[in-house]
Structure 1
Amino acid sequence: MPPTPPTTPNPGEPPVRDRGDACPGALRLHAADDGRLARLRLPAGVLTVRQVGVLASVTEDLGDGRVSVTSRGNVELRGLGEGCGGELAERLSEAGLLPSPTHERVRNIVASPAAGLDGLGHGDVQLWARELDALLCARPWTAALSGRFLFVLDDGRGDVAGLGGDVTLIAGEGSVRVRVGDQVVRVPAADAPRAALAAAGAFLDAARTAGNGAWRVRELPEGHEPEPAAALAGAGIEVQASSVELPQCEPVTPGPLGPHALHVLAPLGRLTAAQLRALAASGGEVRLTPWRGAVVTGLADQGAVARRLGELDAYGLITDPRSPWAGVGACTGLPGCAKSLADVRADAVPGDVPGHRGLPVHFSGCERRCGHPQAPAWVDVVATGEGAYLVAGRPTLRTDLPEAVAAARVPSATTR
């Protein structure tokens, strides 16, 4: 769902938000053309086997039989009926998916999905995510954060550091860098979750002083930037200066992930109830990823990993990094969204690039570009109506999409 249009006094100036954000949640449902929509926050994308089963049953019983994986590793349930809100909340609560009804929309925490599985990175950011979530839900003041405020916890490899977090933590050897806006400080690793919480408090203080109703750090006007060093020191955390440069690496590709885990992608970011159950069949933890995929843990050995990849491939999941469909996404489009100018899911094509996967590509039904990748470069495909699109800014007929998208996915092509 798009944000409420802000008032912008002058071009280039931060917006003025005169109301709270309208982000849907699991308790605040959004009315769409295909029924009610619920967005369920999953800190670090983590689901137990039981929780996966509950989600599969809920979408079958109350929704359209599928879930959408968002660019933050959360899930959306679509096609919900008018009167199902109470039953939905009850079933999610019983599964431990709604630990705090007052804070359910602010639990936006992305963490490196491969942390602890492949021998790379520093620090247990998955553990940090659980601790930060508990801290968020336990503090009444954190409910003032918007449903768009984002915490990013990177284990040092740089896979999620560039996802535009309002508070970003980068793990190192015994320490962690905390980034808020353009300011970066270093703190002891043991204080990482508390540091993230204190940094969020610094943002709220700055937002109140600025008075423009900012939902995110980048919306604060010049001269009202948060002061994370002071906030962290006030929380009793030792603070040191740090370099601003952050690590960057490619997202985890589909396939084996260390000796006991694997990663697959959901076609166009959607998972059927059957695919959800297949992900949990091994009995391990499932981590939904910001690349609209899932990491499956708890496999016995490399042989078990290979067998499970074959089984998940049979369910229609993307298991091969060479698949042209890897990195291809789309918004809801018609008929689910009234603002869309096309059925973008039906029109989406992979744009096969011989020899490599190519840049990510996102099909949007309108200029809002809902759900577009949080990547440095991606191919922007936007419907303009009457069977036409803009592919990386170039007018293209629907019938010419395969060739146009393939050409645009080559890294040297013009991208957004």
Structure 2
Amino acid sequence: MGPGRYRFPVTPLAPGQAGPRPGGGPLAWIRAHPRACDTVLALAVFVAILVGAMAGPHGPHGPRFGERDLTVTTAVLAAVASGALAVRRRFPRSVLAVTGVCTVLELLLETEAPRAPVACSVVIALCTLAARTDRSTTWRVGALTVVVLTAAAMLFGARPWYAQENLGIFAWTGMAAAAGDAVRSRRAFVAAIRERAERAERTREEEARRRVAEERMRIARELHDVVAHHIALVNVQAGVASHVMDSRPDQAKQALAHVREASRSALDELRATVGLLRQSDDPRAPTEPTPGLAVLDHLIDGFVRAGLPVDLDVPRPADALPAAIDLTAYRIVQEALTNVHKHAGQGARATVRITRTADALTVTVLDDGTGPDGPDAPEPGGGHGLIGMRERVEALRGTVETGPRPTGGFRVHVRLPLHTTQATHQAGASGRSCRTGETG
């Protein structure tokens, strides 16, 4: 999760479940108490059925109440149909079947005064089924319900068959199925929006963690390259000074001067690297450019003064290289020469060859050393030089080959493609972890 962002908890919605809404009031109470709401609805439907059974629909000024007598059949069917609505959320199909059967029984049994007020329970049950199931189920069950109830009303209901009471059953059941399907579609839409928001939040957090890990890897690699190079030079020059301190003090002083120069360079590069951790508005943050092939001569001079002869074959400056490739090429030469100085032994000679084509930059570092002998020979394993080298090259989608030469010595060959995308250049500045590697 990036800085300055707040994460709100998101609870996944069950099928047919409405998402929570801000605010309180009656709607919030209804959502918090669904069973109590269904019980109240069942009582209201029961009262409405009883009132409708006793009302005359064709009065001179509208319906007139008390014109009809309430029969036991209507009261029992109303109680069963409305009572079933109390469990409409848990058993929508069963509730629809019960209310539909009660409606048909009322049309069949009330032969003297055909009426179908129990049908209002079917409307609510059908709407609930459409809201809590899928669209295909709504179409199939809804069509069957509309056809059965309309046919029963026209056959056994009010006369003539096209009376408004019979057509009303057709209209209300059809609208109930449509309304329930609209409610279900809206709930699915809200659930999809919430799921996408949650996925986007997770993606932002994962991206932030990935960027942090890549930045840590890049800084660790920079620190290793700086420290390994300069400390190797300091170690060699300090050993020379210690060896000739008594016999040749002038040479010892020269070696100590090289130690001081190498340590100063290490401190400068460490300061520049650690400065990346500062805030962008810190006035003490370093502003020197990162090293590149333009300052490769200074790097070679340091190794030559430390006693490692280096032959440099670099083409004339052409178009400027991308910053990531320029820095990577410099670090490859630095790490390869550091390994030669540490592991190739006395009398070794190195060759640095850099070639550039229209498609790639090739860096080759060769040496003819045979490796040091004696108790001070380095132990295999434990280094990170070639690991970091491979990480840099793979981040730029290049290739690296390292290994001993048939004629003796060691070879490092790197190819860096120049036609990379902007995203690859940024990845080169950040770096990626590598699966395999060798010691530095």
- TM-score, reference length from structure 2: 0.21
Question: Which structure would you say has the larger RCO, counting Cα contacts within 8 Å and 6 or more residues apart?
Answer: 1
Q: Judging by fraction of residues, say which structure has more helix.
A: 2
- TM-score, reference length from structure 1: 0.22
Q: Judging by fraction of residues, say which structure has more strand.
A: 1
